[in-house]
Structure 1
Amino acid sequence: MQTVFLVLLLIAAVVAANAVYARFNQVPVAFLQIAAGLVLSLIPLYQDFELEPEIFLFVIISVLMFNDGQNTSIRRLTRQLGTTMSLAVVLAIITILIVGTVTHLLVPQFSLALALALGAIITPTDAVAVSSITTKVAVPSKVMESLENESLFNDASGIVAFNLAIAALVTGKFSVMNGIGNFLYVFVGGILVGLFVGYIIVSIRIMLINMRVDTPSVIVPYTLLTPFVVYFLAEGLGVSGILAVVATGLIHGMQQDRLRLTTSRLQIVMSTTWSIVASILNGIVFVLLGVSLPSVISHLAQRDTGSVGILIALGIGLYVIMTVVRFLWLRFDFAKIRAHSRHEHNLNSLVAALSGVHGTITLAMAFSLPLKLGSHAFTYRNDIIFVAAVVILTSLLVPTIVLPLLLPKQQDKVTESDLAAAKSDMVTDAIHMIWARYGDTPNASQVIQILEGQRTLDQRPKRSEMTALFNEAYEIEQTTITQLAQAGEITNDDADRYMHFAAQTRLQNQQTFGQRLVLYFKFVVISRFSLSKHARARRRAAHQFQRGNRDLSRDQLRRRKQQMWQQMQKLEAKPYTAVVNFLNDQYATHDQATVGLVRRAYDERHRRMSGQRDFQDVQNELLIEAFQMEYNFIQAHIADQTFNRELGNQLYEQISTDQLVYLQSVNDD
């Protein structure tokens, strides 16, 4: 139970850091997650917290690598295969050897095997971490593609080399020829196992889709379990489980065209689920760094007061060495990034070198170091973790400061205002066409209101205006009902009964708990003590009516309730019309998103009261037709170059999501 509680706190810390980043994105999210971990370290439960090393590789890294693989464009990867292999394999091995040798010379206490293990840990780059620090600058697309492809395979290179170094550290023996042979077996074998098992898993998934067994409750867990199954099988065969899950992820990416046979709902659920899982797992690793740092520093300080400073200098020095090696490798075209001029080539080489950010995989491998070597505690485990942390923080800080000086600011191809304006024009066009074809029919009016909601869906309503509009709408209903009662068209009991119903509508749609509490106190509590003499008489008559119902049969009571409901349906028509007319007049002077939400609340109530649910099939057909009109509108504007391709794609994506959400919500009513 304690372990579950600790994990939940880690997830909560990730969520909190992500929430802060959503509002204040000037600081990279990795730093916020580390800060959240530092806060957690103050909790006594985390002071001696240690996660089993195997969990990092099996639970965290395997899932992240599979997700990276399935999101990689196989066509782009094939086109840049030479550059990718040069960076991810050849440069990675050379960097590991250089870092290991330098570390062994500078810190003789580290054996060569341990120094090589450190090199394997801090060599892999992290494209996700790069993205988090380059949101404000325009990184050349060719450089970003190379970094993403590199991180896909150099993680595996680092992990394979890391496992070989740890094996040499544990056994005390290492043969160059055996090491090379073992590396090739583990590396190539992992890819082959992943391709074979991945093909089988994807084939089963496609079979399930063809059999119409493609509900999210089946396919989503099936896909989430895939990296665990592949990793377990590959490790059981003695090959790289990480490379196996990468290969399986690539197979999934290659089969995306066939996997699009699934429903739109499943595709949205699948992509959202993987996005959340990857974000949480990435965040957990950085939170754990923050949790572990105080304990690591404390242990280092107790052993030797100067060791912390030495390790900080070592980490910064190794980062500088790796960056220089990366720059020279790219500068002299051992790995080619296409450029149109010598200046652009030099700039791309420098940007790619500085963007060799180290993140999740580096930290996860550091935490996966064994707690013991043989029967003795691993003396330098905290040292390695601390050096890895210094490298990660330095690799995040340097490009955060330097890249904005080298690169122009990121310019959005589609601004929010452009997208909002285009969407408004698109919806307006669809509304006019629906109105022209079907006129003021109930179903057409309902579809038009849904489309109006589509226009305002991404805008935040103004709470104060919404509260005022609901209050005014309630007063209009009250005025209308009072006029009907004074004209003798309805009884006073019917008027009281309807206003109680109207008060519930107002109460349910208030935005804050405080507003709801005030209204509840006003209409439920105070009203009981402030009734007029005439109202109290009607209340006594109502109680007598309820007592009289006790003597009625079940059928008689059911018929009486049905009559009351039919009377309420008749009553609701005129107040609803008055409210709609009032709200229509407010579009010109109030926030459209706010007015639209209030209008939708009353439209939905009217739809329930008037029994229009029987017309849902017709509404669905009209909705599908309206969405097709929107597709046609976008296509026409792209053709005449009024909309650029990026704007059109974003509008297409929003229509697809809106279509799924609206049709599903209508069908669920």
Structure 2
Amino acid sequence: MEIVFTVLILLLAVALSGACLRLLPFKVPLPLVQITFGAVLAWPVFGLHVSFDPELFMLLFIPPLLFADGWRIPKREFFLQRRAILMLALGLVFMTVLAVGYFIHALVPVISLPIAFALAAVLSPTDAVALSGIAGKDQIPAQLMHILEGEALMNDASGLVALKFAIAAALTGVFSLRDASVSFIVIAAGGLVTGAAVSWIFSMVSVRMAAFTEEGDPAPGVVMTLLIPFASYLFAEHAGWSGVLAAVSAGMMMNHLSVIHVGPVAARMRTNSTWTMIEFVFNGMVFILLGLQFPHILGRALLEAHETNDKLVWLLLGYVAAVAIALYALRFVWVWLLRWVASRNAVKQGVSNAVPGLRTVAITTVAGVRGAVTLAGVLSLPMVLSNGMPLPGRNVAIFIASGVILVSLLVAVIALPLLLRGWRHSGHDPHATEERLARTQAAQAAIRAIDDMHNTVTAGLDEAASAYATDITARVMDLYRRRLATLTDEKEPAERARRADALERQMKLAAMRAERATLLSLRSTQQINDETLNKLMREVDLSETALTSRGRFRS
């Protein structure tokens, strides 16, 4: 029962954190609110302590979150920015393990070189979820955000694989760069193939299941999508490959399959709503778990150091500050070098001012927020060596990793708004042109389809029936003609069409709200039951959602 109560309390904390964010008089990033909730729950008065099991955490939370990120991330932009993403996700991780690992070993002699490399490896992954929560939606330029999201998507795997080799070196005392490089390629490739294969198989099975269920009920297919990230992760880990990359690959394959096989509207809507809820709940629980661990890790270590020697407290804090500065410095230099190489290549191709300046480098540096993967990785360090002796420096490594996570979050909260001030998009959506093109061509295709349907339907009708069908055709076609009128480049006709469209939208919204009020009134007087109410309310809600969505585009 204790586990049940703990889960319920965590879910309640997630819900309350979202509600409190709207009640606060000032803007605070949601991850920071959730971490604060976790820290408050860790207070001895509440008596809530959740043991952080790294393996269970990696299995339960990481696969679905990475799967959702891989499913959601724009594939075109990911491919276009692949060089920058790989240089950050692979090149920077390698340099972090090497340079920061030696730095940590020199700074804290009690931490052996393999453990220093392991600590540097767990400090290398970044957290795009925390970043987006801190920066806010559409605050960071889209191109840079795609790079940061792609980096966070890929460097979890590279950092955790590097951690695996570092731990093996610490336990055995043997390390071969050649063997590690070959193993890394095999582990990465195996994870990518496994994730793609599992996603494809499960998707095909869910499609078949939907065909056999009554009225094409999408629920079994939605449940199947929930199993994909866990199955991908477990199969890959069982084979000795990267479960993290398998989850990412499964999400990307799911995106590809959803484009090729367009399923029923009900299935898409239910799947999207389900995964939106899962992302919110799981992300919230991840940050609340972080908050729950910080008082026990940081507070206990500082208290023990204070009881031993006051100077040890400042020494531990100095370790955290020094490692954080080293990480920021290395990231700044690495990103600046990437910018410099890109600018040289641009100049050779005759393009001037093609690469943004130091402001972008600074934002990219500060955006390297560490999160739960770092904590899970450092807590997975073994407690004893192969000879049974305690692993030297483990507690200090855990303290440093926890402190760096907290520092990176606070630095991002303070510095990102300052760096982004005055650098927002001037009301221009970078994808507005292609969206307008898509809407125009879709409306034209709809008009052609209506015209073809009209010719087919009226072929064998008499004059009265044909006139009636023509009237219906004109009314349906008029919707798309007016939509095309709002998309034209001619100002006066477009403005007139927009005013008419806005008036029609206001009338339709008023009508839908009246429908909703009437349905609720009928339910309250027991003239209709809950099943009828839910069915009709869903129809009104879907219509209003589509209407308001088009309204946001036109505004």
- Alignment TM-score > 0.5, same fold: yes
401-410 or 423-432: which moved more? Answer: 423-432
**Retained in 1: the 8 A contact 2:203–2:225?**
no
Structure 2 residue aligned with 1:647 = 553
1:581-592 aligned at under 5 Å gives the runs none
What CA distance in whole angstroms lies between the structure 2 residues aligned with 1:160 and 1:190? 11
1:83-162 aligned at under 5 Å gives the runs 83-135=84-136, 138-162=139-163
What CA distance in whole angstroms lies between the structure 2 residues aligned with 1:198 and 1:401? 40
Residue-by-residue CA offset, 1:463-511 (whole Å, 9 max, x unaligned) = xxxxxxxxxxxxxxxxxxxxxxxxxxxxxxxxxxxxxxxxxxxxxxxxx
What CA distance in whole angstroms lies between the structure 1 residues aligned with 2:117 and 2:295? 26
What residue identity is the alignment partner of 2:553? L
Structure 2 residue aligned with 1:18 = 18
**Retained in 2: the 8 A contact 1:155–1:361?**
yes
Q: Does 1:281 align with 2:187?
A: no
What CA distance in whole angstroms lies between the structure 2 residues aligned with 1:452 and 1:207? 41
**Retained in 1: the 8 A contact 2:324–2:404?**
yes
> CA 1:150/1:72 → structure 2, altered by over 3 Å: closer, same or farther?
same
Which of 297, 306, 330 is residue 325 of structure 1 equivalent to? Answer: 330
> CA 1:103/1:216 → structure 2, altered by over 3 Å: closer, same or farther?
same
What CA distance in whole angstroms lies between the structure 2 residues aligned with 1:40 and 1:381? 26
Q: Does 1:403 align with 2:461?
A: no
1:393-472 aligned at under 5 Å gives the runs 393-408=406-421, 410=424, 413=427, 429=504, 452=510, 454=512, 456=513
Q: Give the unaligned 5+ runs of structure 2.
A: 429-496
How far residue 158 of structure 1 moved from its aligned partner, in angstroms, is 0.6
How far residue 333 of structure 1 moved from its aligned partner, in angstroms, is 2.5
> CA 1:26/1:196 → structure 2, altered by over 3 Å: closer, same or farther?
same
How far residue 35 of structure 1 moved from its aligned partner, in angstroms, is 1.5
The percent of aligned pairs where both chains have the same amino acid is 30
1:157-168 aligned at under 5 Å gives the runs 157-168=158-169
> CA 1:229/1:308 → structure 2, altered by over 3 Å: closer, same or farther?
farther
What CA distance in whole angstroms lies between the structure 1 residues aligned with 2:193 and 2:506? 55
Structure 2 residue aligned with 1:176 = 177
- Determine helix, strand or coil for the equivalent of 1:108: coil
> CA 1:196/1:38 → structure 2, altered by over 3 Å: closer, same or farther?
same
Q: Does 1:388 align with 2:401?
A: yes
1:257-656 aligned at under 5 Å gives the runs 257-262=259-264, 264-296=265-297, 297-299=299-301, 301-302=303-304, 304-305=308-309, 306-333=311-338, 336=342, 341=353, 344-374=356-386, 375=388, 378=391, 380-408=393-421, 410=424, 413=427, 429=504, 452=510, 454=512, 456=513, 601-602=520-521, 608=527, 647-648=553-554
- Which is greater in Rg? 1
**Retained in 2: the 8 A contact 1:67–1:274?**
yes
How far residue 136 of structure 1 moved from its aligned partner, in angstroms, is 7.6
How far residue 600 of structure 1 moved from its aligned partner, in angstroms, is 5.6
Which of 233, 236, 240 is residue 235 of structure 2 equivalent to? Answer: 233
How far residue 365 of structure 1 moved from its aligned partner, in angstroms, is 2.1
What CA distance in whole angstroms lies between the structure 2 residues aligned with 1:608 and 1:125? 56
Cα root mean square deviation, aligned: 3.8
Structure 1 residue aligned with 2:255 = 253
- Determine helix, strand or coil for the equivalent of 1:260: coil
Residue-by-residue CA offset, 1:170-206 (whole Å, 9 max, x unaligned) = 3333222222222222122211222222222222233
What CA distance in whole angstroms lies between the structure 2 residues aligned with 1:216 and 1:23? 37
**Retained in 2: the 8 A contact 1:30–1:283?**
yes
Residue-by-residue CA offset, 1:351-407 (whole Å, 9 max, x unaligned) = 111211112322332343345545455564443332222212222222322233332
What CA distance in whole angstroms lies between the structure 2 residues aligned with 1:35 and 1:125? 20
**Retained in 2: the 8 A contact 1:47–1:295?**
no
> CA 1:223/1:424 → structure 2, altered by over 3 Å: closer, same or farther?
farther
> CA 1:149/1:254 → structure 2, altered by over 3 Å: closer, same or farther?
same
Q: Does 1:193 align with 2:194?
A: yes
What CA distance in whole angstroms lies between the structure 2 residues aligned with 1:412 and 1:268? 32
What CA distance in whole angstroms lies between the structure 1 residues aligned with 2:64 and 2:549? 38
Q: Give the unaligned 5+ runs of structure 1.
A: 415-421, 433-447, 457-594, 636-642, 651-669
- Determine helix, strand or coil for the equivalent of 2:357: helix
Structure 1 residue aligned with 2:465 = none
What CA distance in whole angstroms lies between the structure 2 residues aligned with 1:243 and 1:249? 10
How far residue 147 of structure 1 moved from its aligned partner, in angstroms, is 0.4
> CA 1:146/1:343 → structure 2, altered by over 3 Å: closer, same or farther?
closer
> CA 1:116/1:47 → structure 2, altered by over 3 Å: closer, same or farther?
farther
What CA distance in whole angstroms lies between the structure 2 residues aligned with 1:35 and 1:229? 33
**Retained in 1: the 8 A contact 2:85–2:151?**
yes
How far residue 153 of structure 1 moved from its aligned partner, in angstroms, is 0.4
What residue identity is the alignment partner of 1:408? R
How far residue 233 of structure 1 moved from its aligned partner, in angstroms, is 0.8
What CA distance in whole angstroms lies between the structure 2 residues aligned with 1:343 and 1:80? 13
- Determine helix, strand or coil for the equivalent of 2:527: helix
Residue-by-residue CA offset, 1:557-599 (whole Å, 9 max, x unaligned) = xxxxxxxxxxxxxxxxxxxxxxxxxxxxxxxxxxxxxx98766
How far residue 32 of structure 1 moved from its aligned partner, in angstroms, is 1.5
How far residue 44 of structure 1 moved from its aligned partner, in angstroms, is 6.7
How far residue 102 of structure 1 moved from its aligned partner, in angstroms, is 0.3
* Larger RCO, structure (CA 8 Å, separation 6 or more): 2
How far residue 159 of structure 1 moved from its aligned partner, in angstroms, is 1.0
**Retained in 1: the 8 A contact 2:101–2:120?**
yes
Q: Figure out how many residues of one structure are paired with residues of the other and give that number.
A: 468
What CA distance in whole angstroms lies between the structure 1 residues aligned with 2:252 and 2:165? 25
> CA 1:402/1:177 → structure 2, altered by over 3 Å: closer, same or farther?
same
How far residue 255 of structure 1 moved from its aligned partner, in angstroms, is 1.5
What CA distance in whole angstroms lies between the structure 2 residues aligned with 1:221 and 1:281? 17
- Determine helix, strand or coil for the equivalent of 1:344: coil
> CA 1:308/1:14 → structure 2, altered by over 3 Å: closer, same or farther?
farther
How far residue 317 of structure 1 moved from its aligned partner, in angstroms, is 2.1
Residue-by-residue CA offset, 1:223-279 (whole Å, 9 max, x unaligned) = 1111111111111111111111111111001122245313x3332222222222222
What CA distance in whole angstroms lies between the structure 2 residues aligned with 1:307 and 1:265? 60
